[in-house]
Structure 1
């Protein structure tokens, strides 16, 4: 399994809009072929959110990165961020 952890910090005053847009995107991502699961939420004590995505393999993640949903919602979510997101990718052992 391939796991991706993304952290994002929304702009102050835009948290509700960020949560709505991200939630809509991730609802679609959960249904993508090769997506095993998605979990997300705010990191306790910080104004930052984490998303954990699990895919069957690199090919499934690559397909996600080319998806219509990411093309549609990605720019909206990016506009709502205070800084660039960070991510790490790792394979389950």
Structure 2
């Protein structure tokens, strides 16, 4: 699996509506056959920061993602909405999805 975390810092005028501005890209990515998840969160410590957690089936699915038309459009248009270059961690990991946390059990 390809596991990706990206931190985005929108310009102040786009902070509140950033999820809506990303909605088309989010929906298109979630509909990719190799996408496992594509989930946005907002930082509790810094509400002007959004965190995107992505999972793709494998490297081929990741390559399909970055060559998709919606990704090209995202890369071309999104910098105008941002205050700084996004920060990313992208790693191939030995997993097929989420697992229960071994250190904690509920119920």
TM-score by length of 2: 0.78
Once the two structures are TM-superposed, the CA of residue 17 in structure 1 deviates from its matched residue by 4.3
Match for residue 13 of structure 1?
13
Look up the match of 1:34. Answer: 34
Root-mean-square deviation (CA, aligned residues, Å) is: 1.4
Runs ≥4 residues deviating over 3 A: none
**CA distance change for structure 1 residues 41 and 8 in 2, over 3 Å: closer, same or farther?**
same
* CA distance, structure 2, for counterparts of residue 44 and residue 35 of structure 1: 26
Say whether 1:64 aligns with 2:56.
no
Moved more, 83-92 or 9-18: 9-18
User: Tell me, what secondary structure is at the counterpart of 1:32?
Assistant: coil
Q: For residue 53 of structure 1, what is the aligned residue in structure 2? A: 54
Deviation at 1:18, TM superposition (A): 2.7
CA distance in 2: counterparts of 1:16 and 1:29, whole angstroms: 22
Larger RCO (CA within 8 A; separation ≥ 6): 1
Residue segments in structure 2 that go unaligned for 5+ positions in a row: 95-107
Alignment: residue pair count: 93
**TM-score normalised by L of structure 1:** 0.89
Preserved contact between residue 41 and residue 50 of structure 1 (Cα < 8 Å): yes
Q: Which has the larger radius of gyration?
A: 2
